[in-house]
Amino acid sequence: MEQIPETRLWRAIHLADERTFEQDPKYPIRLLVDVAIKALSPAINDPTTAVQAIDQLEDLLRRLGRRSLADVRARDDKGVVRLLHPTPNWRIF
């Protein structure tokens, strides 16, 4: 197996103070839920914003529901699987 140079590996790592949507797909869902909950709180009482957040959640969940949930397999130049990234599925436990 070919060794990957350490400098190339370090360039593939990105450190930051905050999460991004690409790193954590659940993060935008959590943000929208937080907006809806805060909008419905007695202190804010903004049902219009809550409804808009819920509408965005619905749109996001519809788009996610259409996605393929097959496992991601990264292969090297010879076709050998080097990385298997399991994805969630719709099975009910």
Residue-wise pLDDT for 48-78, tens only, equals: 999 999 999 999 889 888 877 777 888 889 9
Q: Which residues contact 40 (CB under 8 A, 6 or more apart)?
A: 46, 47, 50
Q: Which of 76, 70, 73, 61 is nearest to 88 (CA)?
A: 70
Instruction: Write out pLDDT tens, residues 13-61.
Output: 878 888 777 777 788 899 999 999 999 999 999 999 999 999 999 998 8
Q: Is the pLDDT of residue 89 over 80?
A: no
Kindly report the backbone phi and psi dihedral angles of residue 62, in degrees, each rounded to the nearest multiple of 5, phi listed first: -65, -45
In the block, tokens 């949930």 appear at 69
Residue 4 or residue 69, greater confidence: 4
Q: pLDDT tier at 93 (50, 70, 90 boundaries)?
A: very low
Residue 18: how many CB atoms within 10 A of its CB? 6
DSSP class of 90: -
